Amino acid sequence: MVETAPFIIALVALVVAIFWIILKNASAKIEAQFEHLAKGLELELEIPAPKLAGFVRNEPAVFGTYRGREVSISVPGKGLQGTRQIETVLKIELRDKTLSAQFIKAGMMGKLGQRDSKGAARWKSGDEAFDDSVDVRSNHGERLSALLSSEDRVWISQTLKKYKPNIYIGAGVIAYTELGLIGNEPARERFEQAIEFLCDLAETVEAA
pLDDT for position 108: 64
Q: Is the pLDDT of residue 1 over 70?
A: no
Beta strand residue intervals within the chain, DSSP E = 44-46, 61-66, 69-74, 87-93, 101-105, 122-123, 134-138, 166-170, 173-179
pLDDT beyond 90 at 133: yes
Whether 24 has a pLDDT exceeding 90, the answer reads: no
Q: What pLDDT, in 10s, does the model give residues 66-109?
A: 999 999 999 986 544 455 578 999 999 999 999 999 999 988 65
Give percent above pLDDT 70 in the chain: 75
Average pLDDT over residues 111-135: 78
Which residue did the predictor score with more confidence, 6 or 130? 130
CA–CA distance, 157 with 154 (Å, rounded to integer): 5
- In this predicted structure, the answer to whether residue 116 has a pLDDT above a threshold of 90 is no
* C-alpha closest to that of 35 among 61, 53, 56: 61
Going by C-alpha positions, the residue among 54, 64, 55, 56 that lies closest to residue 34 is 64
pLDDT band at 4 (very low <50, low <70, confident <90, very high): confident
Q: What does pLDDT average to over the chain?
A: 84
Residue-wise pLDDT tens digits, 33-61: 999 999 999 999 998 766 555 545 668 89
